[in-house]
Amino acid sequence: MPPMPTASWMLATPRAVLYAEQRRPLPLAAEPRPGQFARAARTAEEALRHAPAGCAVVGALPFDERTAAILALARPRCRPRPPAGRHAPGPAAVDLRGDPGYLEAVGAAIDACRARTVQKVVLARSLLIPGPTPDDAPALLDRLLRQQPDAYVFCVDVGNLRLLIGASPELLLSRTGNRLLLNPLAGSARRHADPAEDAAAARALLGSPKDRCEHGIVVTELGRQLDPLCTELHIPARPSLKATGQLWHLSTTIRARLRHPAPSALALADLLHPTPAVCGAPREGARRLIEALESGPRGYYTGLVGWMDRHGDGQWVIALRCGELSPQGLLLHAGAGILAASDPEAELAETDVKLSTLLGVLALR
């Protein structure tokens, strides 16, 4: 199969690859401010009412409203996803041992949880890898598509010679008519090459009180937000397991039937984003801690990448296992959910594994 064409927006599901080679930016507010996500959803809905058949809104939302959303009208094209490769991701090409600043931040977050300032906060760390540039995007995307066959692989031009690129395991939502599907993930454990050891890690995660609590916070909050909008809401009582090449995750598949008139996919994304899986709970208290403890703004990391059509149907995934390619290199991000019972060294180790998704493809350069 020929390589992916150069596109300013691409999102691969486990079955197909959607891409948009030409986009017409939507007129969003020049200065990001509170409420921009809701305004962006209304702007997208209005633009689609007047758009030719076959058009959709594609783009990316940032983690918070201090960074501008990127949305555009486009006519996405679809092609089959390339087959999975035979080679596992390579080893990390960078020494990840230790990050005193992150350990200190996690300690402060644990203190806040124990003081009941927040119940949970998700803290991220960043790592700049010099060398890769946007010119490397096609090769890196091809490797991600083949090495992460069940992931949502994406690439978005976010301006200023930067490309957001990644392979996320997490679907925020998919809306088709009045039917809604969500797949929140929270709680993780490292995978192992030995099958017996790997199976033991999966069982331990499924039985971990800390991880079950972390996952439950996410699912409970999503259910609370969705309940007024739904005539039916099915949330399994217990999580299941979802595997990536590097990690086991606790996973819940939520299915719902929306009341009429059903909110659009982007309006629903505005309501739910950011979830406790990437921010924390309560949301505003977690946001304040993130701003105080992280080294800089997240930008589009833990934001959303997706699309919506003129019927309001669409799909939005959480931008995880990702980084920004620029002429300066690849800026990677990874985070972990912090609770009162967290261990700083264990949370640091979890972010190391998450960074390995992109570090693995770099090792094959």
Residues belonging to the active site: 120, 170
Residue owning tokens 């899986």: 277
Query: Left (φ > 0), alpha (ψ -120 to 50) or beta: where does 186 sit?
Result: beta
How many other β-carbons are positioned within 10 Å of the β-carbon of residue 181?
14
340, 188 contact by CB (below 8 A): no
Asked whether 108 and 102 are in contact (CB, 8 A), the reply is no
- Rounded to whole angstroms, the Cα distance separating 55 from 50 reads 10
Tokens at residue 200, please? 């033991």
Structure-block tokens of residue 276: 């406790």
Query: Which SS3 state, helix, strand or coil, does residue 140 take?
Result: helix
For residues 218 and 185, give the distance between their C-alpha atoms in angstroms, rounded to a whole number: 8
